[in-house]
Structure 1
């Protein structure tokens, strides 16, 4: 046990520096806790052989990932003393938790030196004082900030607004005052209850439960009582302006492909008010400098409604989002039919003839679980792909987005049905494109749409032949696979890996880190996390509680988990093919009782090293309830 931080820790450091490969990391850890009190509960006086082994740590409170320190979980240890956060910067920690201790004084200084930190937990301490407004500047990877049950005062730092991936805030039971910043991050979950906040609740938080804002006498707006009339008018004006700007934006973008000067568009009066401002932007200047193309919309399916580019320009437009390939818009034609128009800028690696050929080939693909391409528009610099609008949005939005209070999550039968639909769609793509290395190439939850019956409709498939190679390597999901990351190659089994990640995402409700890595460096993925959890016999903790953990469906959920892990096998030779993966998924039922599956876990080579720990006998549901 650590009896004297000054003497014993110094001796340990000297020993570790000479005997371990991770001496610099260990030295950093000791530097961090040197001035802390009550560290005797740590086992850091022993010499680890080494500290991190894969995703496992030989030291208490140290989290490991791929053989490196990924986080510190110094919780509930009665720790106190000065927090030297900058000393941890070389470790590139993903998470830091000092929750439920006895820390006091101001917010830790220079904590934004931890630029790769994703999760910060400081709840249930005795921190006090105001937090500097720039406290979170530069923390671009930050997702969660937990400061609940402290004594913080002053305004909520506006630097959090600039954190793009922010998804969870716990600021309750403090004395924060002033207005809630104008958060814009979709899907943000936040608890501001029991503070001294006032003003209107930001629109992006309006679907939170009212309890998240209770105990603040000055807050107003949904889900609390309406704001005074003057605030309401201001909010309504801003909302109307935003909507008009969105419509103006789509009109500006579509002007890029206009073949000739047309008569003024019949937009609402509010749009015209913003048009003058829009023409001053850099985008419109670029548009004027482009050479107008003389092409027309090319339809690839018979028996479909025909329209011209001018009809799209007249359509009511809504910006749906912007992805790694380009922007997407919903266009409602005067006929009442909605379409999705996707704008691609990274398709200049093929000529017009080859592009036309591939688009027409895509137009012949017909399957209920594949989004049909309706038409396309070709321009040398940019292209438009037009498809049907799918009303229930993406699978990603249902798994990770913010829901209304009365909107239920996806239950197990629905998730199983979605996975089966995805597998059927992929199997059809593999049959349609037997010579294509990546029949999909970009399979992820945001590219799985849900129709009115919550059936899966897969989109953005078979675009590899027309996507610029460098852009594909940077952003396409297939190039996040182990084989691409290690040797820059993809195979017919690469889409199977993407399917496996999707299955694990559906079962766990966790957003895969694979989707977020725009670079090509190594990093842990969802499969690594799942494998580490089941090896610790915490299998019940793997499953998303929102889908319902009834005893009658546990066996089938386990089977799907094993299928997902076999699909995620790092070794391409050991990984299942698409046919086998689709067949295994098709065998699954919503609940037990229809067939004997006891032999499923003992089918020899069917379960590879990635899931070797995942047999029925190894699973434990003792912590699931």
Structure 2
């Protein structure tokens, strides 16, 4: 009996061994069937620890080659592309990818990859594009990058890479796109940077810690387009003259560095506004208001040589005393003349401007005839005689302002809109220049100095997405603010159409995203980089203006404070109180349409304080995003459902309604943009959190949208 059991056990053991051998043979055969490129890709898969979207679900090792796998593209049965954008992959980059001899493109953007760039990766010498932005990669760029002679696109932005840029980078002669922004790169740019990379079409080095001087050969990059971005670094020294050799259509951004000396005025640098140079306190010369020192001591050289000798010295003394007496007499006469001219001018202007502005509502395109008649009787030198008068004069806030008060008053004017803060006019000068002029209304003259200080501070805020205040005028009866005219109306009209019957075409998602980014950039600048880290406090679509290419311009920044100082808006404070009481439902004060619009965009904490905060602006921005996504008017929604737009979105989410129910129907025609729309929707919902501390900063919002837009 025991003998039989023993034989039986031996047989079972042999069968089990045979079975395991057969299974192992099958697995070995399967692996053997897969070529070397497939094995290299399986190593890459093994380096990924999380794959939440199942990107590698069909990576079957039983295939002869990996050409049918997700994310893999082949040509002639050889792997030429690996693409896994926005798949939330967590892991590292396997060095085995460098063994793919035919590899041309790697796109792993917007994942969660960490670790360093493996040296072996750069053995794939046929690589043409390496896109790894939006990860958590660290370490430095290996010098082996110089082996990639065919590389055309290198985007490593939004990582945590460190070290200096290797000199070998300039061996990539065919490079067209170089984007290294938002890292921690240090050191100076490689020698020969401009000559070696003269095929570049896109260059972005912003938000690093690069230092040293900008190479003198930078002007050899003759194919650059868009923005050459050197901003937010530590570059020092002079701005190279060769910048002027770049194509004139290139916008050169040198903001927030340590550059010094005069700004060259040649080629591409001519007629650049101050926006491109802010944040460099040691720069001087146009277009900045800081004059450059000419190397002469403050007192300057003597006007005349010293003459020694008693007789001559006496003559000089007499001549000096006589000249002083003459100067005093001339000054007294001038002051008297100025006073007379100023009084005459004030009387004429007060009479004419009152007539002109009162008639403007019903008579567009009429000249200010009364002012013409009044000014024609004045001496031609009256403009120069009013330069030293504090009030009753047009005060430019920009050295490029070439018009004067006379030209402004002679211009044709059209009413653009009215509000409790005042009337806005479109003014067209004789030379065709168009301006927007806001009349703050009548008020006292006791707070002129305060108004002057505030308006000049607002005038210093310059950003492409903020409407520029060019000049102002103050008198007892009139206070005027003169802005750039933005031609495409406001955002509210672009979303919902105008009240007047005109053709209306809904905006595409790309245009809406562009507007969102523009508003975010402007607010981020106000919050983070403006001199006083300002707050807007009254952000809504009505004061988001759209430029010729649908770029966003934030308007009315600082307006409420200026209006209060000018005395032209006594309703601002009472309106805020009325809004608070209306929301608390224990007031009989009527809610005006203006108050209702404000209510829709105000943060919840606005009911507790009259002082806006940056988080208040973030909330208003979030409501605007929801409006752009849904196409719904917050005011109309409040009228029909007694529910503001934020609560309506929260209701739809709780009810688990499909995305199509909350989207603007026009966006339903772009199903391929659904992922991007959802990403922006998440950002907007973060912005409208009830608790201010739970809302992101505008810098975080801007970075999020920039990453999203870069993936378009």
TM-score class, shorter-chain normalisation, is 0.3 to 0.5
TM-score where L is the length of structure 1: 0.45
The structure with higher relative contact order (CA 8 Å, sep 6+) is 1
Which is higher, the Rg of structure 1 or of structure 2?
2
Higher helix share: 2
Q: Under a length normalisation based on structure 2, what TM-score does the superposition of the two structures give?
A: 0.40
